[in-house]
Amino acid sequence: MTAHKYAVKKIGIIERYQEFLPVTDRTPIISLNEGNTPLILAEALPLELKLNNIRIYYKFEGLNPTGSFKDRGMTMAISKALEDHSKAVMCASTGNTSASAAAYASRCGLKCFVLIPEGKIAKGKLIQAYRYGAKVIMVKGNFDQALELVKGMTQDGQITLVNSINPFRIEGQKTGAFEVVDDLGDAPHYHAIPVGNAGNITAYWKGYQEYKRAGRSEVLPKMLGFQAAGAAPIVLGRPVEKPETIATAIRIGNPASWKGALSARDESGGLIDSVTDDEISWAYRFIAEREGVFAEPASAAAVAGVRKLAKKGFFLENTRIVITLTGSGLKDPDYALSFDDKIHTIEPTLDAVKRAVAGK
Ligand code: F0G
């Protein structure tokens, strides 16, 4: 029997990418083995979009420990908060950040306060915040208002802010780009990503640049960001006071990392565009029903964006496109059940099953 038979291999993003992250031997690593998510080759989508010789990959972040990409940033933010002897953390959230903050805080005994827009977050995310033991505070307002309140509450440094204006969040999230390059052997030509508070597009762009500088990749991708049409401040060039979209995760009217998103767009030669709720809905169903990948509506916004561009003949042949699917479809059961799927309830007999199978 070997000595390390029962040892647990540390495989979180901090251990994997320590040399690219602002951590030291004194940083307590709070991890749930986040990251290392699969890059899944799209099969139905390129056919549907008639894209010849173009490879599309889904970076499926819904398989992180709390079901979204936020875990990459949160392992860093919580580890650094602990290193700084913080006793409590706080965030505003459309749901995923609060789920992730609550989980990582629970793991190391930090108090966690989450401010969420009342009635506007997906049920799965709300359940997570409660069950991981956070103090959930509903705000009669939207995300942007909640974030302002969190900034006010954390100003004196007593409570650590863990939204993506905390730079350690961006540091952690940039590892998504590292993994893409590690898996593909180089960066893709295009990276499509949904944009809400704009932290993630900022983080991916930082990651791609740092990896190239370190000689790990030869090319840089063009960053393609997509906002929901009813919550598209960056596309419109002005804040949206009352953002609305079915993709509640990106229902944000005044993104904190607005500037970062513009840099990612302009430095990479990419674009930021909007997609309608109908387009998001189409993409949401398509990737689940045709690719077997169940992601939440906000994630589908990036797929919808790629479809919109493909229809205009935007993509050249022989290119690779990576789409970040930011969160799991299981997060939002109400939206998932909002379609008019036929419900077959039958008597427990073979005949009844046969009739149902035959569509009678
Ligand atoms: N996709 C999902 C599933 C998200 O939860 C978010 C953001 C985004 C995309 C957009 O990422 O904000 O970095 O541009 N959710 C935040 C939250 C706002 O509170 O969970 P972003």
Each residue of 102-155: pLDDT tens digit? 999 999 999 999 999 999 999 999 999 999 999 999 999 999 999 999 999 999
Distance 95 CA to ligand 1 centre (A): 8
Give dist(CA 195, CA 264) in Å, integer: 12
Give dist(CA 155, CA 165) in Å, integer: 13
Tell whether ligand 1 has an atom less than 6 A from the beta carbon of residue 196.
yes
Distance 249 CA to ligand 1 centre (A): 5
Residue nearest to atom 6 of ligand 1 (CA): 249
How crowded is the C-beta side of 79, counted as CA atoms within 13 Å?
A: 28
Give dist(CA 6, CA 3) in Å, integer: 8
Bridge-based pairing state of the strands 160-161 and 135-139: unpaired
How far from chain centre, in Å, is Cα 150? 21
User: What is the DSSP-derived secondary structure letter of residue 103?
Assistant: H
Q: In what order do the strands lie in the sheet with 271-275?
A: 39-41, 54-60, 319-325, 190-194, 222-228, 271-275
Can you give the pLDDT at residue 4? 66
Within a 10 A sphere around the Cβ of 171, how many other Cβ atoms? Answer: 25
Distance 226 CA to ligand 1 centre (A): 12
Can you give the pLDDT at residue 2? 55
Residue nearest to atom 4 of ligand 1 (CA): 249
Tell whether ligand 1 has an atom less than 6 A from the beta carbon of residue 67.
no
Residue keyed to tokens 């490879």: 55
The model carries a pTM of: 0.96
Length of the chain: 360
Farthest-apart Cα atoms in the chain, separation:
69
Q: Has residue 239 got a pLDDT over 80?
A: yes
Q: pLDDT tens digits for 257-306?
A: 999 999 999 999 999 999 999 999 999 999 999 999 999 999 999 999 99
Tell whether ligand 1 has an atom less than 6 A from the beta carbon of residue 198.
yes
Tell whether ligand 1 has an atom less than 6 A from the beta carbon of residue 195.
yes
Position 253, amino acid: G
